[in-house]
Structure 1
Amino acid sequence: MKHLFIKAALLLGAAAAASCGNMKQIKHQPYPETVRGDVVDNYFGTEVPDPYRWLEDDNSEATAAWVAAENAVTQDYLSQIPFRGAIRERLTEVWNYAKESAPRKHGDWWYYTYNDGLQNQSVIYRTKEPGEAGEVFLDPNKLSDDGTVALTDMSFSKDGRWFAYSAAASGSDWVEIRVMDTADKSLAADKIEWVKFSGARWAPDSKGFYYSAYDAPKQNAYSSKNEFQKVYYHALGTPQSADRLIYEDREHPLRYFSAWPSEDGKWLFVIASEGTSGTEVLYKRVSDPKFRVLLPGFDADYSPVDCKDDRLYYVTNRDASNYALMKVDLNRPGMIETVIPESERNLLEGVGTAGGSLFAYYLQDAQSRIYQYDYAGKQVREVALPAIGSVGGFDGREEDSELYYTLVNYTAPATIYKYDIASGESTLYKAPEVNFDPELFTTEQVFYTSKDGTKVPMFITRRKDMKRDGKNPCLLYAYGGFQINLTPGFNPSALMFVEQGGIYCVANLRGGSEYGEEWHKAGMLENKQNVFDDFIAAAEYLIAGKYTSTDKLAIHGGSNGGLLVGACEVQRPDLYAVCLPAVGVMDMLRYHKFTIGWGWAVEYGSSEDEEQFSYIYKYSPLHNIKEGVKYPATLVTTADHDDRVVPAHSFKFAAAMQHAQAGDAPILIRIESKAGHGAGKPTSKRIDEAADMYAFLFQNIGVPYKVIKN
């Protein structure tokens, strides 16, 4: 793979690296006095105290005062770290490279996103021909003064005339759908509110679109439980109040739905979900009044790919743990045929369509492989990828003869290639120019043994000149849930850490679906402890292999990965020097009572079920903190507008940890304002947060940051 880069002389020897001085000993201010209430819940005869229940009210004056006091303690501590500013400066440099998406054609224009390096949000451009200078189509940075309004979804009408985008403010999951006329780039009057986990799905005639929405919340929009999602059709040029109700289910308040119209305009599908895995597909002719069940039950996944000649093509794990591509005759729904059978070894992540071909995305040991098929299921070729990594973009229009795809890995940002659908030839389109030398770094994949003997893969990114002497700073990252696969990706902040001699490790724990649905099931519900065992085993492997040592090891994860870090911290506080849980699900007994949390019960279970309570309670991070234990240095991060994993999880966990801590290591919480769960976070906030996280990490493993001299 050809890299374009600006070479920097990143020599970290005595002659090239200036240390920011010897490690300064820093003490945090006294923690705020956090009132411990007397709330006690009874779960099937087990009494569980919840002394920080009052912190769940994120609108109260008391909670606001607590947040301000905790932030003051955290910022005072971070401000004393002498190399914090130098870290932020270097992060700004490594983030500052042009980022561009693969172009896609809609109507007469090719559209792509572009970020000059440090723009808070990427800008949408368009051009008549790929490679020519583009014009600005929509600049999301102009939707707010501080870059905190982000686009979470965008779609074009089939004729290319209309563009719909979903805009989220301050990181919230709530979005507003707006429409633009591509002819003159004007904003239409159409405005759709109270949309969550949905975008605009255009009808084939380009006269309107389908979307899913909730009724306006009667209480706190950022923490109230979301119920009774409905599917609507919006006709262009009409108010939302006139939108036609397409589908609702008054018997199942916790289901959510998405509409999927066929390209020929004959059929309309609704995909129903009860949680984060498992779906049911309903269908009808557009002219029919009612939907019927096409693919029943919620014990398997169904993902529509295409509808052609009255046959629905879909990817499923029904009787296929590694997934298969099937088709069903919509006039004879009992007629189901296999198009691409399940692979014995590799996971079928999804299927794209373009130029009359099917493109199957496979994962082999968490790395992308792409195969091209015809609609009869005959393999045309395996696509010869230019390098190992993660691939995206093999999707387009029926009439396309070429497409553009991206390839990314741990040491290089996304590079764009043009693919000729007929010949199978890939040619380089654009490679990013970066201000570091990727030849200094390497990534290896290892397989280690977990507690029960399971082999688990892990990517290790490091400098080529690293010595395995047990003295290296190490950051271990993972997720482990919800069928989320951690494939190679570029993280400029992690590269800064590796540049300093650190080792960045990503473990592919059970709970993801790197090896199919069985791998997922082995890390969910009553098997969730396997995920924590896998992560702990990864840490032990790195220590035993002398990549690092306990006093140089940090662990990090976000969302479900924040739960992972919290659980592993309270289970094995002796194993790490630093713990960095971000926006974590820490109160496993009450997570389902907020916003969309109920949808995770299929993955975790619920405390309202006696059997499920018994195993959730054993690992819930909040409920397994023990007084008198010396816990590692901990920086909890969350945000005030996180309505996915509400900040109360992090508030209560931080308060309980501060109360229990018997050692000298700091337990701090960083609460970001005007930010949410992470999606669409402005570049400036990402850099600020990363600078604080890595400054805290270096400070608490006793390794000073070294200023890079170019």
Structure 2
Amino acid sequence: MAGVEQSVNDPYLWLEEVTDERALDWARAHNDVVVARFAASERFTDLEGRILDMLDTDAKIAYPSRRGRWLYNYWRDAAHPRGLWRRTTFAEYAKDAPDWDVLIDLDALATAEDENWVWGGAGVLRPEQSRALISMSRGGADAKVVREFDIETREFIDPADGGFHLPEAKSDLRWIDIDTVYVGTDFGPDSLTDSGYPRIAKRWRRGTPLTEAETVFEGTADDVAVSAGYDRTPGYERHFVGRSTDFFNEEVYLLEDDGSLRYLDVPTDASESWYKDWLLILLKSAWEVGGTNYPAGALLAIDFEKFLSGAREFEAVFTPDARTSLHGYGWTENHLLLITLEDVQTKLYVLTPGPDGWTGQPLADAPPMATTSVMNLDPLEGGDEFMLTTSGFTNPATLLASAVGGQAEKLKQEPGFFDASGIETEQFFAKSDDGTMVPYFVIRHRDRKGTPGPTVMSGYGGFEVSRTPAYSGASGMGWLERGGTWVMTNIRGGGEYGPEWHTSVQKANRHKVYEDFAAIAKDLVARGITTAEQLGAVGGSNGGLLMGVMLTRYPELFGAIVCQVPLLDMKRYHLLLAGASWVAEYGDPDKPEEWEYISKYSPYQNTDADAVYPPILLTTSTRDDRVHPGHARKMAALLEEQGHTFWYHENIEGGHGGAADNKQSAFQAGLIYEFFTQMLMERGE
């Protein structure tokens, strides 16, 4: 069988039945083969143990989320594999051993309720911070149960006593005040979009049944999602709703007191935000307005009330160039902080609005070959304070505290988890088929220079997700310490050079993503860094699709591939779970003119029994309710039928991240590096 041409002829559709016992037995049988081959050795056990110790150690930074005087943190360690939700004050956090106030012990809760709870997040009501909306999933799925929690009594509020509670669904629940929330959830028939997200937003008052919640906005079935929210900035309170018409376009409205909607007339593919008097618009495509042309990637500012009154005289507070893009931004009480990428390396700036316009200057130094991020901005209660975190491929994370105009003070420093002595980071550029220069980072021991060696390159290439340097103890232990070379690619589809780095390769131009990755693979060989036989590739989700294309279109470039929680059957992806929400990225396979270009790369339709493929490890999760596990299952079954060398492993829980706790994460990571070690370092020995 040369691929699967049409869904109706697909002999493996039965593997799309997620929890069918026949399908699960099939998965377990393949799991046994993988464990016996890759997870039964002393070397694997040692690596898995080291990674687990790293994930469980108290020495790692407990990254906080600031809410006024409180710093909240979700923490996992060996004694609490499911995790603790806790908080402390800034003064206490600055100590070497902070005294944390534990709010929820998820392990104890899961035991008491006999549920496989995985933490999903907490929405704390401000300014009181006496209540929170707690999200939890069963096994790590996107669909979550939401329950109201009393922070003062440390108890969940029973729905019978007026507590807000939503059963398992892909819900959106946001505070308005202590007795009112905005809710989007599965209200019954026709209340969800085709993508499985809320289609209707309602206002729900305490003590009333969900069926009596008041509808404030409705979208259509072919939207991605609808949501509603409340900006509680004192003196600037605003209610708003959003309608995501596809993954990259959203209509935003202010919700007036009389229930009417006031449309924000900005490009639907732009990202808009507001703070007090200012409206900010980050453009994803060029925009001509008010007699001025603004480029894609520009950040525009305007007085919000003047904008609502019809003014369109924006000030461009950031304008990109060929090498520089805006990576992020956020407000302190009086300033706007910008994070930029210049050839995928960060630089930080502070901008200040004044009566004569905006002024700007550098905020802080950012080391090269590293990523520095601004976090914990709290303009409502935190003044002009902020935190910085910085790390590189071989430099563990450092957390610093500062304020605009002040000096940064080191708060926390993570230890190194692998021997990085002699390991260096370099940046190179490869020329893709259309002449575009595509950057990538190479991390290797200096003694490897001049000698081709085992190398693994990772990639994603989609949804404007930028990949920047970051410390990875797991890859250091599992690969760099063993003498391997690690490569992080910045192929198109990401946002490393602004929105056009992404939009230029959507839909019919998707092939350029794969040409970029292949060009880097060839460049690595041309530079003498590796050989095709010693080169591996790894990617997950959209990056798993990338791996499937590498297997079927560029098999000669690789010695081994790891394909994680992937999309692979692009004929049916839009019919499975959240797949319909990604049509704006890939195209609609039900439209012949769009299936024409999708069909040329869809891995499941392009496998060939007569081709020579490198060995591949496919991994997925039964509980992944974002990318359907059927993609990986069916691809494995087809490769098996065609006689190709493959391995398949399915975590029976874990969601889209592939793991539900640190032990599962350690196993998954150890499996990948052991696979590459056997395939790229030991094959032929």
TM-score (norm 2): 0.88
Tell me: CA distance 1:409–1:702, structure 2 relative to 1, closer, same or farther (3 Å): closer
Secondary structure of 2:463's counterpart equals coil
Match of 1:278 in 2: 249
Cα shift at 1:139:
3.0
1:574 aligns with 2:556: yes
> Which of these residues, 468, 489, 512, is aligned with residue 507 of structure 1?
489
Match of 2:458 in 1: 477
> Which of these residues, 85, 89, 93, is aligned with residue 124 of structure 1?
85
Question: What's the CA shift string for 1:352-383, capped at 9, x where partnerless?
Answer: 11222111222222222221112356234211
Match of 1:14 in 2: none
Secondary structure of 1:516's counterpart equals coil
CA contact (8 A) 1:99 1:114 kept: no
> Which of these residues, 495, 508, 521, is aligned with residue 476 of structure 2?
495
Secondary structure of 2:73's counterpart equals strand
> Which of these residues, 694, 700, 708, is aligned with residue 673 of structure 2?
694
Tell me: CA distance 1:449–1:384, structure 2 relative to 1, closer, same or farther (3 Å): same
Match of 1:144 in 2: 110
Structure 1 CA distance for aligned equivalents of residues 411 and 619 of structure 2: 38
Question: What's the CA shift string for 1:493-550, capped at 9, x where partnerless?
Answer: 2111111111111100101111112110222101111111111111111122121112
Question: Residue 394 of structure 2 aligns to which amino acid in structure 1?
Answer: T
Match of 1:28 in 2: none
Match of 1:358 in 2: 336
CA contact (8 A) 2:75 2:85 kept: yes
Match of 2:291 in 1: none
Alignment of 1:544-693 (within 5 A): 544-661=526-643, 666-678=645-657, 681-693=660-672
Tell me: CA distance 1:398–1:60, structure 2 relative to 1, closer, same or farther (3 Å): closer
Cα shift at 1:49:
3.9
Alignment of 1:37-52 (within 5 A): 41=6, 49-52=9-12
Alignment of 1:10-25 (within 5 A): none
Tell me: CA distance 1:199–1:349, structure 2 relative to 1, closer, same or farther (3 Å): farther
Alignment of 1:127-526 (within 5 A): 127-128=88-89, 129=91, 130-132=93-95, 133=98, 134-145=100-111, 149-159=117-127, 160-189=129-158, 190-193=163-166, 199-203=172-176, 205-215=177-187, 226=196, 229-236=199-206, 239-249=209-219, 251-262=220-231, 263=233, 264=235, 266-285=237-256, 287-295=257-265, 298=268, 300-304=269-273, 306-309=274-277, 311-319=278-286, 320-327=295-302, 329-330=304-305, 332-336=308-312, 337-338=314-315, 340-344=317-321, 345-376=323-354, 378-385=358-365, 387=367, 388-393=370-375, 395-401=377-383, 402-421=385-404, 423-470=405-452, 472-496=453-477, 497-526=479-508
Structure 1 CA distance for aligned equivalents of residues 53 and 420 of structure 2: 15
Cα shift at 1:650:
0.5
TM-score (norm 1): 0.85
Tell me: CA distance 1:194–1:454, structure 2 relative to 1, closer, same or farther (3 Å): farther
Structure 1 CA distance for aligned equivalents of residues 67 and 5 of structure 2: 58
Structure 2 CA distance for aligned equivalents of residues 547 and 120 of structure 1: 40
Question: Residue 550 of structure 2 aligns to which amino acid in structure 1?
Answer: C
Match of 1:12 in 2: none
Question: Residue 126 of structure 2 aligns to which amino acid in structure 1?
Answer: K
Match of 2:51 in 1: 91
Sequence identity of aligned pairs in percent? 27
CA contact (8 A) 1:631 1:661 kept: no
Cα shift at 1:492:
2.0
Question: Residue 312 of structure 1 aligns to which amino acid in structure 2?
Answer: L
Question: What's the CA shift string for 1:280-325, capped at 9, x where partnerless?
Answer: 211222x121223213564x22232x2424x533433242322313
Secondary structure of 1:335's counterpart equals coil
Query: Greater shift after overlay, 481-490 or 160-169?
Result: 160-169
Question: Residue 454 of structure 2 aligns to which amino acid in structure 1?
Answer: P
Question: What's the CA shift string for 1:127-178, capped at 9, x where partnerless?
Answer: 2323242222233333435995333332222212222222122121101222
Query: Greater shift after overlay, 666-675 or 127-136?
Result: 127-136
Query: Greater shift after overlay, 652-661 or 124-133?
Result: 124-133
CA contact (8 A) 2:653 2:659 kept: no
* Alignment length (residue pairs): 653
Tell me: CA distance 1:327–1:120, structure 2 relative to 1, closer, same or farther (3 Å): farther
Secondary structure of 1:378's counterpart equals strand
Secondary structure of 1:619's counterpart equals coil
CA contact (8 A) 2:241 2:255 kept: no
Question: What's the CA shift string for 1:266-287, capped at 9, x where partnerless?
Answer: 42122221232122211222x1
Secondary structure of 1:548's counterpart equals coil
Tell me: CA distance 1:529–1:59, structure 2 relative to 1, closer, same or farther (3 Å): same
Secondary structure of 1:574's counterpart equals helix
Structure 2 CA distance for aligned equivalents of residues 500 and 37 of structure 1: 38
Structure 1 CA distance for aligned equivalents of residues 432 and 2 of structure 2: 40
Structure 2 CA distance for aligned equivalents of residues 350 and 559 of structure 1: 23
Structure 1 CA distance for aligned equivalents of residues 28 and 124 of structure 2: 43
Question: What's the CA shift string for 1:100-140, capped at 9, x where partnerless?
Answer: 34444435433234444785345333223232422222333
Structure 1 CA distance for aligned equivalents of residues 14 and 3 of structure 2: 10
Cα shift at 1:237:
5.6
5+ residue gaps in structure 2?
287-294
Question: Residue 185 of structure 2 aligns to which amino acid in structure 1?
Answer: A
Structure 1 CA distance for aligned equivalents of residues 37 and 339 of structure 2: 46
Tell me: CA distance 1:235–1:355, structure 2 relative to 1, closer, same or farther (3 Å): same
CA contact (8 A) 2:170 2:186 kept: no
Question: Residue 84 of structure 2 aligns to which amino acid in structure 1?
Answer: V
Structure 2 CA distance for aligned equivalents of residues 440 and 307 of structure 1: 47
Cα shift at 1:695:
1.5
Match of 1:5 in 2: none
Question: Residue 117 of structure 2 aligns to which amino acid in structure 1?
Answer: V
CA contact (8 A) 1:224 1:594 kept: no
Structure 1 CA distance for aligned equivalents of residues 172 and 190 of structure 2: 23
Structure 1 CA distance for aligned equivalents of residues 183 and 320 of structure 2: 34
5+ residue gaps in structure 1?
1-35, 43-47, 705-710
Tell me: CA distance 1:399–1:356, structure 2 relative to 1, closer, same or farther (3 Å): farther
Structure 2 CA distance for aligned equivalents of residues 515 and 38 of structure 1: 35
Secondary structure of 2:544's counterpart equals helix
CA contact (8 A) 1:339 1:375 kept: no
Structure 1 CA distance for aligned equivalents of residues 408 and 579 of structure 2: 43
Query: Greater shift after overlay, 598-607 or 117-126?
Result: 117-126
Question: Residue 334 of structure 1 aligns to which amino acid in structure 2?
Answer: G
Tell me: CA distance 1:40–1:614, structure 2 relative to 1, closer, same or farther (3 Å): closer
Match of 2:292 in 1: none
Cα shift at 1:94:
4.2
Tell me: CA distance 1:339–1:323, structure 2 relative to 1, closer, same or farther (3 Å): closer
Cα shift at 1:439:
4.0
Question: What's the CA shift string for 1:623-670, capped at 9, x where partnerless?
Answer: 1101122211111000111111101100111111122235xxx31110
Structure 2 CA distance for aligned equivalents of residues 627 and 84 of structure 1: 32
Structure 2 CA distance for aligned equivalents of residues 92 and 39 of structure 1: 40
Alignment of 1:61-80 (within 5 A): 61-79=21-39
Tell me: CA distance 1:243–1:361, structure 2 relative to 1, closer, same or farther (3 Å): farther
Tell me: CA distance 1:676–1:102, structure 2 relative to 1, closer, same or farther (3 Å): closer
CA contact (8 A) 1:458 1:505 kept: yes
CA contact (8 A) 1:404 1:418 kept: yes
RMSD: 3.1
